[in-house]
């Protein structure tokens, strides 16, 4: 079956602009998590959505937001971009059918560069 897809793969924006990234999870997966990956901080959790509801949120400012649609596809939005927002944004989907840490399947990421 098809894996997690993220669009676009690469994006260049300037400071102050906003950006929307998209993630399509594996068919049947209801949980989508977003992460920011930078060389300095590594992988940091942004938020998780399950059945259109935000279930958990990391320590990021309110400029970072997301949503999930009824078909489980998810988008994340970053407003008023800053240079420090340059990173690889990863989306991961999982079944989340039961308790415990299930396997997350990551997409290839969107490389965002803020100039």
Partner 1 sequence: TQLLEQSPQFLSIQEGENLTVYCNSSSVFSSLQWYRQEPGEGPVLLVTVVTGGEVKKLKRLTFQFGDARKDSSLHITAAQTGDTGLYLCAGALGYGGSQGNLIFGKGTKLSVKP
**Residue 40 phi, psi (nearest 5):** -80, -40
| Residue 42 binding partner 1, by CB under 8 A | yes
Q: Does 66 bind partner 1 (CB under 8 A)?
A: no
The four Cα atoms 38, 64, 24, 97 give a dihedral, to 10 degrees, of 100
Using CB under 8 A as the binding rule, whether residue 92 contacts partner 1 is answered as: yes
Number of H helices, E strands in the chain: 0, 11
Question: Quick one: which of 21, 96, 112, 114 contacts partner 1 (CB under 8 A)?
Answer: 96
Out of 47, 64, 66, 81, the residue judged to bind partner 1 by CB under 8 A: 47
Whole-angstrom Cα distance, residue 71 to residue 52? 9
CB of 64 vs partner 1, minimal distance in Å: 14
- Contact (Cβ atoms closer than 8 angstroms) between residue 5 and residue 107: yes
Residues that bind partner 1 (CB under 8 A): 4, 31, 33, 35, 41-45, 47-48, 55-58, 90-92, 94, 96, 98-109
């Amino acid at each position: 079956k098809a894996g997690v897809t993220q669009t676009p793969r690469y994006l260049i924006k300037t400071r102050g602009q906003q950006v929307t990234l998209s993630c399509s999870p594996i068919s049947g997966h209801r949980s989508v998590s977003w992460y920011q990956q930078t060389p300095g901080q590594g992988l940091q959790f942004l938020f998780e959505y399950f059945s259109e509801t935000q279930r958990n949120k990391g320590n990021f400012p309110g400029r970072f937001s997301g949503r999930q649609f009824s078909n489980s596809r998810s988008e994340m939005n970053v407003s008023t971009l800053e240079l420090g927002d340059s990173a690889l944004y990863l989306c991961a989907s999982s079944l989340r059918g039961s308790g415990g840490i299930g396997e997350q399947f990551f997409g290839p990421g969107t490389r965002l560069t803020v100039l």
